[in-house]
Amino acid sequence: MTISRITLPENFADWNSAQLLAQPEPQYPFAGLFLSAIGSALPTPSGIGLDGRQITGTGAAFSSAERDRLELARGLPSGLWALGVDFKATMGGTVRVNRPAFANTTYTAASRKLSPGQAISTTPITIGMEQTHLVLDRYAGPYDAGNSRVAPFALEAFDANMGLHSPSSMIGTHLKRDFHRFLDAVHVVLGDGGTAVYPEGFAADVDITSTDSAPMTVEQLTRTTQLMNEANLSTWPDGKRVMFMHPKQWKQLHHDPEFQVNSQFQKDLDILYGGYVGTVADWHCFVSNTLGATTNASSVSVQRAIACSPGGFMGGMGRPPMVKTSTNDNYGETALCIWLADLAFGISDSRFFRSVRSG
């Protein structure tokens, strides 16, 4: 009889390598920008559990949440945030922010000319003011999608010293990844609330009836510039604005004949921003894999780039992000933990954004 794993299983033993393979992950650029704006981060503890009853365990260290991320946009301009509020230094959980509202009246020479002896009105007119607000709320994770609720990770003390990888390190990595993905998703939705700009000849998602029939074009970018200029939106000091686009949109631009004429690559920005991919038609372009996309009635995926002017986002923080442990720990034998943070998200005005779409 041939000796094999089937005929003599007692002679063979499987083992697990302590080395971890790469798990491709997107970057979550808006999460990094928000944390930079509020000056905070989620600390990952060395042990999980209440003080004096923490479970650490043994085993090889687990990889960090950032190790395998595709860094397409690093060190982006922080000027995207108009307001960063420290709620610990203020009263209440809502900050209201004012903005002047100017009235457009009549500006002809004839309307303002005063004839000799003409009486000037003594009835005053009002000046305008607009207001937006930023609300502090409590957020937590991770999330149990099967039961639609926030739920903890659990660590069992009995098994903590028997694993190949450190269980507390594993939980810390998963908590941070969930926290960053949450922050990024929130800001993608906020930034995608601007007026939609479609390729020439299209006016709605449903108009795109076949794949690649409405690619991103340089004309679309110049038209977005025109719309934002007409809205009197500010630029960065170099006269440019920032656009986050899907990798497919950046690829489509390369096939536009106008791209070679209108594109440039600025080495100083490459050094400063790392993942900067190029400047096209007054836009510093960055690529993100976490942007929104919808499937329309023709089953065509419509990508949604986010065009931004400085000062579009607002953010705030009360209690900083932290890992919290439940007191229900079965006499210290089972540690349950979540991340928790008091945060505020908002935009100063939807006019600061455009949703640049292609299919």
Q: What CA–CA distances, in Å, run from 227 to 7, 188, 252, 285, 357?
A: 74, 21, 22, 18, 15
Q: In the 8-state DSSP scheme, what is residue 64?
A: P
Say if 8 falls within a structural domain: no
Q: Which CATH number characterizes residue 230's domain?
A: 3.30.1930
Is residue 167, in this structure, part of any structural domain at all? yes
Distance between CA atoms of residues 326 and 179, nearest Å: 18
Residues 217 and 285 grouped into a single domain: yes
DSSP 299: S
Q: Are residues 178 and 285 located together in one domain of the fold?
A: no
Provide the domain limits for residue 341.
25-92+132-189+314-347
Least confident of 47-51, 64-68, 132-136, 209-213: 64-68
Judged against a pLDDT cut of 90, whether residue 187 lies above it is answered with yes
In a shared domain, residues 65 and 77 = yes
**Helix, strand, or coil (residue 139):** strand
Number of domains in the chain: 2
Based on the domain organization, do 143 and 253 belong to the same domain?
A: no
> Are residues 136 and 66 both part of a single domain?
yes
The model's pLDDT over 319-335, given as tens digits with 9 standing for 90+, comes to: 899 999 888 888 878 88
Judgement on whether residues 183 and 202 belong to the same structural domain of the protein: no
Q: Are 159 and 305 contained in the same domain?
A: no
Q: What is the pLDDT of residues 77-135, one digit of tens each?
A: 557 777 777 777 676 788 888 888 888 999 999 998 999 989 999 999 998 888 888 88
Q: What is the pTM of this model?
A: 0.82
Higher-pLDDT residue of 6 and 173 is 173
Residue 245 lies in a domain: yes
Asked if residue 166 and residue 79 are part of one domain, the reply reads: yes
Residue 4 lies in a domain: no
Q: What is the pLDDT of residue 272?
A: 41
DSSP track, 28-58: -HHHHHHHHHHT------SSBSSTTS-B---
